[in-house]
């Protein structure tokens, strides 16, 4: 719970969290705040009704700083949505991947701060 009584884990009817929305829009600061407030460490792993995580949405938005942040918090590069796509595969579908995004999503190395 936050100071206003809401939960950062609250989900919409389609399963989206505030982190999903922030990641899909590339809002780095909002993502940083939400992840810092998540004492359970589970928010980064929550999937919506399409099994998309915040990392899937950040990849689709080509939000490089958000992708890096989510990976630092342990987001799963290999998580698959309901169509069986990883965040990297979603990025490739957009046909506008940057070399850095490709490295971030295809590497198995941990992301350091």
Which residue range forms the structural domain that includes residue 99?
18-106
| 24-38, 42-56, 60-74, 84-98: range with lowest mean pLDDT | 84-98
pLDDT at site 67: 98
Q: Can you give the CATH number for the domain in which 50 is found?
A: 1.25.40.20
The per-residue pLDDT for range 98-111, each reduced to its tens digit, is: 899 999 999 876 56
What is the C-alpha separation between 63 and 30, in angstroms, rounded? 13
Structure token digits, residue 81? 């949505």
Structural domain total, the chain: 1
Answer whether 0.85 is exceeded by the pTM.
Answer: yes
Q: Are 11 and 54 in contact (CB under 8 A)?
A: no
Q: Is the pLDDT of residue 1 over 70?
A: no
Give a yes or no: residue 79 inside a domain.
yes
């Amino acid at each position: 719970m936050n100071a206003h009584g809401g939960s950062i884990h609250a989900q919409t009817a389609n399963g989206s969290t505030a982190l999903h929305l922030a990641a899909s829009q590339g809002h780095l600061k909002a993502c940083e705040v939400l992840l810092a407030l998540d004492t359970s460490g589970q928010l980064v792993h929550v999937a919506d009704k399409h099994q998309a995580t915040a990392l899937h949405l950040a990849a689709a938005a080509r939000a490089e700083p958000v992708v890096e942040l989510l990976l630092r918090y342990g987001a799963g590069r290999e998580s698959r949505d309901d169509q069986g796509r990883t965040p990297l595969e979603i990025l490739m579908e957009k046909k506008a991947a940057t070399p850095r995004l490709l490295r971030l999503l295809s590497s198995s190395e941990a992301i350091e701060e």
